[in-house]
Amino acid sequence: MNQKLAGPAALNEERLLNLLKLLSVAVLIGCSVVSGQETDTLPSLKDGESPRNFAEMWAGFDPRAEPLEIEVLKEWQEEGVALRIVRFRIGVFKGQTARLAAVFGYPRDAVEKKTKLPGLVQIHGGGQYADYKACLANAKRGYATVSLAWAGRISAPDFRVSPAEVKLFWDGRTDDPQYRLTTDWGAVDGYHAPGRNAGNQFPSAKAAAWTLDQVESPRNSGWFLCALAARRALTFLEQQTIVDPDRLGVYGHSMGGKLTVMTATDSRVKAAAPSCGGISDRDSDSEVFRSTVGDDVSLKQISCPIVFLSPANDFHGRIGDLPAAIREIASTDWRVTCSPHHNHQDTAEYEVATMLWFDQHLKKTFTLPQTPESRLQLKTDDGVPRFEVWPDRSKPVLSVDIFYTQQGKANERPEDREITMHRFWHHAPAVNANGAWAAKLPIQDVDKPLWVYANVVYQLDNPVSGVGYYYGDYTARTFNLSSLLKTVAPDELVAAGVRESLESSLLIEDFQGEWEKEWFTYKPAEWPRATHKLFDPTWKAPPNAGLALDVLAAQPNILVVLIDEHAAEVPVKGGDAWQQILLRPQDFRDYADEALPNWSHISRLKLGDADRLRPARGQSGPPRLVGKHWQGPAPRFRNLRWHVSPQLSEEDDQR
């Protein structure tokens, strides 16, 4: 029996039905065996052969065909929002019913007002949870949201399902006070980190005892199973009396970003917002996987408006794949927002793109400017490339910033993770001339590719609050739109007569002007900053160099200089005089108190107050705190540089 969750008239009957269901589920220890009258959700393979394309993979599946059999496991109210933990039927696989747990929330007054709300499916990433905070924040903005616990994990008041509780559920430990009903994949295994079966590799399409098909098949992959569950969540939303079935959206982060792309192929989705995923999974060694579950396969089926949240240093959704993703989608209504330097996290002016996109396409209360137009000129009078940007000026433009790198690689793969995560993006100051912003891009090596894009920051009329990638609260007062990345191969640079005009430098940072454009943080309200400058050959350390820095602090403190996983704790005297600091590799120690061997292969430098060193792979133990909370005003810095002197060379020789 399908239940309409929203509506007080049916509430008592609903609770009685749910109680009966919970009792029956407890008897079955979380695993429902289907009666002989019901057939499996998916048809058997034709002639025992694996699906070979998108259409064959989804053949025979109707996300609306089966009853939902909704269970309400918990319900409460918070800040004018009605919240519930629910389970509903995913489907029948190998004779057993699979059920998806989720958090569902909507504004309470929508029932009395008989309002039809837009509905959102939120899909968590690997290691994450279905979280009530997303439903709560979205409800305050007029959305009904279902947050999916595809891995079984749930975060809600008095209903915490961590991996330990998921294990209790698997083992049927109903006598344990921490036992909670959660997602039950039945005869298949769509769980992740850990899977229910020790040998389960979530993305794999290979056959195993717990898979649907006994040949390599996309229907064996956790990607397919979870995308199928997400499409059932669309059915859940469209059957709620308070939800407008013609205004449904989907979004998710990381693994949830890929699942967003797979779910957005459903014609019921009217807007999608994947972050850090859904563009780069196209490198599998398996032809079956590539032709069915690869990101490009689903991207080609997407016709709804879509915005890609794609940090420029993300390891999972690699920015180098973004132009291909835009070419592949069938939709002509798209945007991208790409924070420079960030990896798998973002800050408010980028994260807010998700809610603005849904406001535009599901609520019609906002209109995003168009994607900035751009042009890269390689043939110039001085041999220095020039990048021009024409932003949409329908809203006030606060800034235009141009970022470029020579550390991109054509056809990057997962094994290129170090380059992907740590490449340095030079900031090229742009000059506005009659609505066109332009900047020169001096490069160091014509034998390396050139990648470039622009960010345009706009003012919001009113602040927008939401819950971001990892369910952290944010409030945005501005928002960013990016131009699409342009890439140029080395032979094109040479053919255009581009010359090498960027020289190596001992001065790493002067901390003047817009220096922070080449540094980054995920906590902009705090002063610590990091940079990937030392990963760029422009600032390669010379032999026998020391790392020098001048600091001015009002009070005595400990400055932490972090290079990758090694930290140097530097006492700062405080007062009104600049203090000179000189550090050698031996001054930087890791979690095991091992010294940094040399300046080679440095990827990230951070200046901060307190940080945590963590054990390396193969080590164990709690994180170790270095430094402490900063006292007084934020410090000032100048002249971060490589310092070379005979004295340093002699001291190193003595060691």
pLDDT digits 0-9 by tens, 123-165: 999 999 999 999 999 999 999 999 999 999 999 999 999 999 9
| Torsion angle, alpha carbons of 454, 460, 464, 469, to 10 | 0
Residue 285's alpha-carbon distances to 276, 282, 413, 483, in angstroms, are 22, 9, 12, 32
Peptide bond into 490 cis (omega under 30): no
pLDDT (tens digit, 9 = 90+) per residue, 194-228?
999 999 999 999 999 999 999 999 999 999 999 99
Nearest Cα residue to 543 out of 445, 638, 646, 444: 646
What confidence category does residue 5 fall into, taking pLDDT thresholds of 50, 70 and 90? low
What separation, in Å, do the N-terminal and C-terminal C-alpha atoms of the chain show?
A: 78
What confidence category does residue 171 fall into, taking pLDDT thresholds of 50, 70 and 90? very high
Let me know: does 163 contact 194? Beta carbons within 8 Å: yes
Which tokens belong to 138? 């979205």
| pLDDT score at 119 | 98
Is the pTM above the cut of 0.85?
yes
| pLDDT score at 23 | 40
Residue 523's Cβ-count burial label (10 Å; 0-12, 13-18, 19+) is exposed
Q: How many secondary structure helices (H) and strands (E) does the chain include?
A: 15, 31
**Separation CA 509–CA 217 (nearest Å):** 53
Set out the domains of the chain in order of their start, with CATH numbers. Answer: 8-304 (3.40.50), 504-655 (2.60.120)
pLDDT above 70 (res 640): yes
Q: What are phi and psi of 61, to 5 degrees?
A: -100, 125
What confidence category does residue 457 fall into, taking pLDDT thresholds of 50, 70 and 90? very high
Cβ atoms < 10 Å from Cβ of 463: 12
| pLDDT score at 645 | 79
**Could you tell me where the beta strands, DSSP code E, fall in 215-305?**
243-253, 269-275
pLDDT above 60 (res 98): yes
Q: Residues of the chain with pLDDT > 90: what percent? A: 90
| pLDDT score at 3 | 46
Q: Residues of the chain with pLDDT > 70: what percent? A: 93
| pLDDT score at 28 | 33
Find tokens 């191969």 and name the residue: 489
Beta bridge partners of 388: 375, 438
Let me know: does 613 contact 567? Beta carbons within 8 Å: yes
Q: What mean pLDDT is predicted for residues 368-383?
A: 98
Which tokens belong to 579? 């203090």
DSSP assignment string, 190-215: ---SS-SSTT--TT-----TTSS-SS
**What is the DSSP-derived secondary structure letter of residue 534?**
G
| pLDDT score at 617 | 85
pLDDT above 50 (res 21): no
Residue 624's alpha-carbon distances to 407, 565, 610, in angstroms, are 33, 11, 10
Residue 604's Cβ-count burial label (10 Å; 0-12, 13-18, 19+) is buried
pLDDT (tens digit, 9 = 90+) per residue, 538-573?
999 999 999 999 999 999 999 999 999 999 999 999
What confidence category does residue 647 fall into, taking pLDDT thresholds of 50, 70 and 90? low
**Separation CA 63–CA 160 (nearest Å):** 29
Q: Hey, what amino acid is at 645?
A: S
Let me know: does 263 contact 251? Beta carbons within 8 Å: no
| pLDDT score at 577 | 96
Residue 105's alpha-carbon distances to 82, 112, 288, 466, in angstroms, are 5, 15, 38, 14
**Separation CA 548–CA 552 (nearest Å):** 14
**Separation CA 108–CA 78 (nearest Å):** 9
Q: What mean pLDDT is predicted for residues 382-410?
A: 97
Summary mean pLDDT of the chain: 93
**Separation CA 574–CA 245 (nearest Å):** 62
Which tokens belong to 285? 């060694």
What confidence category does residue 646 fall into, taking pLDDT thresholds of 50, 70 and 90? low
